[in-house]
Chains A and B, each alone.
Chain A
């Protein structure tokens, strides 16, 4: 049997190749023929047209924070870079007088690179809050709230606005309402993540709803965004860090410090991918075309989820698989333990994330049966 390959990162089409949006390809061609684009250094904070659009899609065009000019947007070379910049800003500038140095709370489980990013910025006090419950195959809100309730004031809490990695389980709007109240009450600082905006519902603003909720509640926040997934610009490192401040008077200072941090990390971001995104988001016709393509991706993911769930049911695979179709987006937690994950990679050449989660879009018509069988075997073979 051929090597089925990675069911971890990156989106694949039915042929198992990385998906490039048709529109993205078209825009890239246009841009390459554009004589007005100059090979010059950008500002450290990146392409202005891009940061304006990225800020708008996160907060909504009519956001009070934008109108009051108290939002800082920094174009970064990718999502990790946005998280790193945010971590550095917090480390150096969060409550200067109190010499704040953590704690930072990450969900359990979370992307395995997150802790390292905060540590690299010099924050060692990293803790977990309860998130995914294996038995319920869902988020356990009660335990989550318990953990955040006991977090020290001024803790930073990293929360996925949508497309939680690696579980794919997202908080509902009601759950967000409860959490924002807790954040206000306990004076916590939210650092939100939007790694795959628009890939849950095919709608940019819907995925950003939690960010808008926090902002409209007057909460200061950081938000790291990536446009790699939803524009098929993987190799192009298109990231953005949003910082919503309480007062406009703070904007220049925080901006100058962000500038200083960027200068000694990567100097300025790369422009290519950001130009594509800015072009699409600034043009109503492109936007409509783009939304069509994204909807198609989202529908394909939902279809795979349905078919996988049905196949597991037919195989009689033990466990409940409803969460496969109740959740949305690219990632899904299969509830497999470490041994089972190892079994899959070693004996079936099916590679999942160590947490037992997989990227749904890596499954296609040709490998679906094999993948479903493999999962079945992992769960039924005594290891």
Chain B
């Protein structure tokens, strides 16, 4: 008799099922708009030229130490990563109250942060503290905080389907009514899946309520540089909150902006009130990491570290990132133009107003089903598309398919 006899099958994760279905489809014009990774205009993954260069440098460096990394990770990576988020001239860094933990990608950063908060945040109330995630949000947010032990995970209003934009009133209302000291997961830029970010003024309003209600700020930053093409612009919200005096966490991922998806390069930036609190926090995080993966993998961190710490390579990297961001912006522009030219009913301004890899098209589930089954264009049931799946070769077909879906299916 097996001890695993009664294990139920877990349901598959939607986005991976979509990709699996896409792979099995033999239709010549099929398009995958579900994938969460960058693709070139030839629909290929892209190794950033600066990454290729740095990889070679690393492989040829015979002086390199092959030891385990420290538990908290490669020191030069951690400091460079935090600097990229907070800015070179960040006063918080100058005041020695910023630290980083190298993690297995953005997921790892979220998990270590969540594990820490579950153990140490909010006094005796810690495990019952509500965690708020946007409606909608990246589906793994729920999983990470649940598995870290939080039982009370709630949505905060975010996407307004009717106006196809941010539901600021609803958001501010939920902030106002959240129990004090609740944890809020905020997307630093390029909100996944809607692509809709608060404006600078809107962020200021959000910060005002959060400060007053003593809410904990946990930024998820997976697209810095990738969204607008500018590192500074994409980090504006984070830097504003820091300058506004908040303590906060930032879960950073370098998967997209370095194209290092399978090397798992992440950093949990901790901004504390003072250097002593920072030191204590990092020491507890070290204990948490020790029972999770113990020592993080070095390859990806070395690539990022070398790049960020060399002015030449850093400039080259920014150029590569801009290349990716520009292609996405071009596709957004072209898709909107084509839909308008086709006279597709509805407004399509949101396609170019939204930012980052993803766009919430506004297609309903029936229309999405039509797209997949009849047109072999794969997208999420929510109507989310990955702009990187669009190329100059398939954009006409996709625009045409959307047009048909909207006009034929209600």
Cβ of A154: which chain B residues have Cβ within 8 Å of it?
Answer: 3
A156, B258: Cα distance in complex, Å: 42
> Which residue of B5, B56, B69 is within 8 Å of A235 (Cβ)?
B69
List of B residues within 8 angstroms of A40 by Cβ: 37, 45, 261-262
Query: Is B13 at the interface (CB under 8 A from chain A)?
Result: yes
| Interface 9-residue window, one of A54-62, A136-144, A175-183, A268-276 | A268-276
The A-contacting residues of B in range 1-58, CB under 8 angstroms, are: 1-13, 16, 36-37, 44-47, 51, 55-56
Question: Is residue B291 within 8 Å, beta carbon to beta carbon, of the partner chain?
Answer: yes
Find out whether the CB atom of A32 lies under 8 angstroms from the CB atom of B4.
no
| Contact status of A234 and B66, CB under 8 A, knowing A268-B264, A273-B297 | yes
Q: Can you name the residue of chain B whose Cβ is closest to the Cβ of A33?
A: B56
Residues of B with C-beta under 8 A to A266? 104-105, 107-108, 111, 264, 292-293
Partner-binding segment picked from B142-150, B236-244, B311-319, B361-369: B142-150
Q: Is the CB of B7 within 8 A of A39?
A: no
Q: Which of B3, B6, B9, B56 is the one whose CB lies under 8 Å from A32?
A: B56
Whether the pair B296, A77 counts as a contact (CB closer than 8 A) is: yes
Residues in B86-114 with C-beta less than 8 Å from chain A: 104-108, 111
The reply to whether the CB of B151 lies closer than 8 angstroms to some CB of chain A is no
- Decide if B300 is an interface residue (CB 8 Å cutoff): yes
Which one of A97, A120, A247, A261 contacts B288 once the chains associate, using CB atoms below 8 Å?
A120
Residues in B with CB closer than 8 Å to A28 are 59
> Using Cβ atoms and an 8 Å threshold, which residues of chain A touch B205?
none
Residues 290-322 of B, flagged 1 when their CB comes within 8 A of A and 0 if not, give 111111111110000000000000000000000
Please, how many angstroms separate the alpha-carbon atoms of A57 and B51 in the complex? 33
- Enumerate chain A residues within 8 angstroms of B44, measured Cβ to Cβ: 38
Q: In which size bucket is the chain B interface?
A: 35 or more
**Is A80 a contact of B260 with CB atoms below 8 Å?**
no
How near does chain A come to B318, taking the closest CB pair, in angstroms? 18
Contact A113 B146 (CB under 8 A): no
Nearest chain A residue, comparing its CB with the CB of B44: A38
Q: How far is the CB of B142 from chain A (nearest CB, A)?
A: 9
Please tell me if the beta carbons of B67 and A265 are within 8 angstroms of each other in the complex: no
User: CB distance A246 to B1 under 8 Å?
Assistant: yes
- The interface residues of chain A lying within 8 Å CB-to-CB of B111 are 264-266
Residue of B nearest to A115 (CB): B291
Tell which of A252-260, A287-295, A344-352, A368-376 binds the partner.
Answer: A252-260
Say whether A113 contacts B299, CB under 8 Å. Answer: no
Contact indicator A39/B261 (Cβ below 8 Å): yes
Taken residue by residue from 15 to 59, chain A's Cβ proximity to chain B (1 for < 8 Å, 0 otherwise) reads as 001111000000011001000001111110000000000000000
Contact A38 B140, beta carbon cutoff 8 Å: no
B289 vs chain A, min Cβ distance (A): 9
17 contacts between A and B (CB under 8 A): A10-B67, A10-B68, A19-B66, A39-B51, A77-B293, A80-B292, A80-B294, A232-B66, A233-B66, A234-B295, A256-B11, A263-B140, A264-B107, A264-B143, A269-B264, A271-B263, A272-B300
Given contacts A245-B2, A256-B12, A271-B263, 6 further A-B contacts (CB under 8 A): A40-B261, A235-B297, A263-B13, A263-B143, A264-B107, A264-B111
Interface residues of A (CB under 8 A from B): 9-10, 17-20, 28-29, 32, 38-43, 76-81, 84, 93-97, 100, 113, 116-117, 119-120, 154, 189, 220, 228, 232-237, 245-247, 250, 252-254, 256-257, 259-261, 263-273
